[in-house]
Chain A
């Protein structure tokens, strides 16, 4: 369970998170929508401990993320994150990209790490690309590799930060299909996305962020069907 309690965060004088409260249960898929600069991406990097917070708490399975005593590297093995930019390690092959963290962070043997990596890469449809360097692949393939790389750590939670925003339109589908597959397998996910159709399909709940505040959160039928917040109504009108 991820518990986010009254989290505030500023970059300089700009407050990007103004007291966010959100609890995500095991097996739940929560998508976060909202305009740019609404703080939704920042929230994900805070959950993973990549960004410090100013006040409030984020607790993952009883571990307070921003407590001094927390071993962030251990936590990050449990909470995977995939970014808008896939950030492949260009000097490693696809297989090596996925094997690296299981070997070095989890301390698995080469054989075991390779077994996991091959399984995850096959899972996202890259079983034929094991020995290829990432720069030789399309953005969609690289993004799926990044997803496999995060999954190879056997995370219990996955955070997706606008993973299709930097892709050519014709490549968006293959990545969204991968996310749908994970959702149907019961992975606990928080997805920041601009893909409304996708959000409507996979989400248990959809959260709308506006100017650092979670203005509305509801199951997709309610949020898209009968939005209450006036800003959300405007946002949906503009994106449809």
Chain B
């Protein structure tokens, strides 16, 4: 069973795929989180009626399967002659997808800060911005962190779908090797292990921050 045709070069190929997964995830989660914070604050600030158009658009990104979004976006960018590389298209779609979920997480975090606490901050002469920066942001972050970690891990795994645009990320790299070597169990085991190695530090970082912020 330990006779395998898998070479070091093949392992390098898998790691290259893993790097692509990491790159797509890093760009999308970063951009999606920034957008999600902006959208979440806006939704909280302007109230449900005036935020309705934004909510509607974000609902689309949350409801339509990611695969369909990727394929449609790729088709649209071709029709519109934008000339985006598959990597760009993948990151744009995944960022908006992340932003749609992150908006809800941020909104929930902000609503979790009691209005009376915010009123106390304002009553001390703090501006809206100072209240957001020094009171709301730290408290909302603590509440939102577990959901945000979950979202990040989810996006990391969902990013496998960008293989449909021709990007060779971790899952696609594994498929290529499986097809060539006909050793699906071993290769998928390694693939799964790499996904775990990427996820584990992120999950632990979340645990560490939660502990640090627990005021003990």
Q: Determine if B215 and A150 form an interchain contact, defined as CB atoms under 8 angstroms apart.
A: no
Residues 50-85 of A contacting B (Cβ, < 8 Å) = 50, 73-77, 80-81, 83, 85
Chain B 114-138 against A: per-residue CB contact (8 Å), 1 yes, 0 no? 1011011111111100100011001
Partner of B125, one of A76, A85, A146: A76
Which B residues are CB-close (under 8 A) to A90? Answer: 117, 139, 215
Assuming the contacts A83-B116, A104-B130, A135-B215, asked whether A91 and B138 have C-beta atoms less than 8 A apart, the reply is yes
Q: Chain B contacts of A135 at CB under 8 A?
A: 215
Do A50 and B134 touch across chains, with their CB atoms under 8 A apart? no
Interface positions, chain B 193-216, Cβ under 8 Å from A, are 213, 215
Known contacts: A91-B139, A91-B142, A135-B215. The answer to whether A73 contacts B119 by CB under 8 A is no
Main secondary structure on chain B at its contact with chain A?
A: helix
In the complex with contacts A100-B134, A104-B130, A89-B124 CB distance below 8 A: no
Question: Are B117's CB and A87's CB within 8 A?
Answer: yes
Q: Is A31 an interface residue (CB 8 A)?
A: no
Interface residues on A, range: 20 to 34
| B-contact bits for A143-154, CB 8 A (1 contact / 0 none) | 000100110010
Q: Which of B119, B123, B215 has the most CB of A within 10 A?
A: B123
Chain B residues numbered 19-33 whose CB sits less than 8 Å from any CB in chain A: none
Contacts A91-B215, A135-B215 given; indicate if A77 touches B114 (C-beta within 8 A): no
Given contacts A105-B130, A135-B215, contact A87 B139 (CB under 8 A): no
A75 to B117, CA, bound (A): 19
Q: Does A48 contact B (CB under 8 A)?
A: yes
Known: A104-B130, A104-B134, A153-B125. A87 touches B142 (CB 8 A): no
Which of chain A's residues 88-127 have a Cβ closer than 8 Å to chain B?
89-91, 100-101, 104-106
Contact with A along B94-127 (1 / 0, CB 8 A): 0000000000000000000010110111111111
Check: A133 CB closer than 8 A to any chain B CB.
yes
The verdict on A101 contacting B142 (CB below 8 Å), with A91-B215, A146-B120 known, is no
Extra inter-chain contacts (15) besides given A50-B122, A83-B116, A104-B130, CB under 8 Å = A73-B126, A77-B124, A80-B123, A83-B119, A83-B120, A83-B123, A87-B114, A87-B116, A87-B120, A91-B142, A100-B124, A101-B124, A104-B126, A133-B215, A153-B125
17 contacts between A and B (CB under 8 A): A48-B123, A50-B123, A73-B125, A77-B124, A80-B123, A83-B120, A85-B116, A87-B120, A89-B117, A90-B117, A91-B142, A100-B124, A100-B134, A105-B124, A135-B215, A136-B215, A149-B124
Closest 6 A-B residue pairs measured CB to CB? A87-B120, A101-B124, A77-B125, A76-B125, A105-B125, A133-B215
